[in-house]
Amino acid sequence: MKETEEGRPVLAIDLGGTKILAAIISSGGKVVAREYRLTLAAKGQQEVINRLFLTIDRLLDKNQRDASQLAGISIAAAGAIDSARGLVTSSPHLPGWRDVPLCDLVTGRYQVDAFLINDASAAALAEHRLGVGRGVANLIYLTVSTGIGGGIIINGRLYLGSSGSAGELGHMTIDVNGPRDRCGNVGCLELLASGTAIAREAIGRLRKGQSSALTDMVKGKIEAITAREVAVAAQSGNGLAKEVIHQAASYLGVAMVNIVNIFNPDMIVVGGGVAKMGDLLLNPARQLVAERAFRLPAQAVRIVTARLGDDVGVLGAAIFARDRMEAK
């Protein structure tokens, strides 16, 4: 990294299907300021890019900074990412995005270096450097939220694969006879254990006539149920909600068995909004790993919740940018 860049902050962005979070990250890895905006992904690629630029502009204006004062702009985005070329090649959560040259677009507008990484890989990097995985050599990160993504740390280094798109653990097949996903695969983990899947399963059971306090929680508007309501109901002892979460946790456990047998990690870190359920979600998954994974790797792994919260994506994006700049 050039000496003049060392003290400059990185403007980091977590670009998801639901929201855009931009943050100024100091050279010491601290969040200096944040700016949120809804993604409105259904309105198409250009609308999302416009909103991304607006978020960056507002963050800079509010903090009286110019883009020339940044070391770079780094984006953690949902989807299959070609980090080397700065492309979002596709994204189930950003409809219509195909081979979008996001780094070129950002550099062209702000005249600074731009970097691009998958959001779950960024989260893995952040938890490994700053969070619950500090000092751990081999770590798998799973984000369980609207969708499910993954990041891989091997021998202390982020593993991105040959094209930068490694870690799409949410799209491993769990049920070969399961429903078809938008990604083209069938029976994906994301379709069975994400927050969206939990809500869909609860709504489906209620529509079939099962009774639950969930109906009262949403004043009869069952289509408004989210994973959060299901978690609250389950923690209150509601039978239907507990069954729905146990089912999702079992699918997650099957995925973890695969992960443990393939990677033999020291730690699996589970983050994202659904992970806030804690042991309600993780204990059934841990039990499946103990029962089904090979004994030696099952005994070696710890399955824990993430520590860095909503800032994990922007922190990881900033770390990724600084790593790339230092490697120049």
pLDDT average, residue stretch 56-71: 97
Segment 6-63, tens digit of pLDDT: 689 999 999 998 899 999 999 999 999 999 999 999 999 999 999 999 999 999 999 9
Alpha helices in the chain (DSSP H): 45-62, 102-110, 119-129, 189-193, 195-207, 213-217, 227-235, 239-263, 279-292, 295-300, 312-326
pLDDT average, residue stretch 243-257: 97
CA nearest to 229, candidates 272, 277, 191: 277
| DSSP run (H or E) holding 89 | strand 87-90
Residues written for the chain: 328
pLDDT over threshold 70, residue 88: yes
CATH of 3-118+311-326, one of 3.50.50.60, 3.40.50.720, 3.30.420.40, 3.90.180.10: 3.30.420.40
Segment 282-302, tens digit of pLDDT: 999 999 999 999 999 999 999
pLDDT average, residue stretch 101-128: 97
pLDDT score, position 256: 98
Topology alike, domains 3-118+311-326 and 132-307: yes
pLDDT score, position 206: 95
For 318, counting Cβ atoms within 10 Å of its Cβ (0-12 exposed, 13-18 middle, 19+ buried), the class is buried
Q: Which amino acid, one-letter code, is at 43?
A: K
What confidence category does residue 4 fall into, taking pLDDT thresholds of 50, 70 and 90?
very low
Share in percent of the chain as helix, strand, coil (round to 5): 45, 20, 30
Contact 78, 17 (CB under 8 A): yes
What confidence category does residue 5 fall into, taking pLDDT thresholds of 50, 70 and 90?
low
pLDDT score, position 252: 98
Check whether domain 132-307 has CATH 3.30.420.40, yes or no: yes
Segment 192-205, tens digit of pLDDT: 999 999 999 999 99
CA–CA dist 259, 39 (Å, integer)? 31
Domain boundaries, the chain: 3-118+311-326, 132-307
CA 316, 327, 80, 302 torsion: positive or negative?
negative
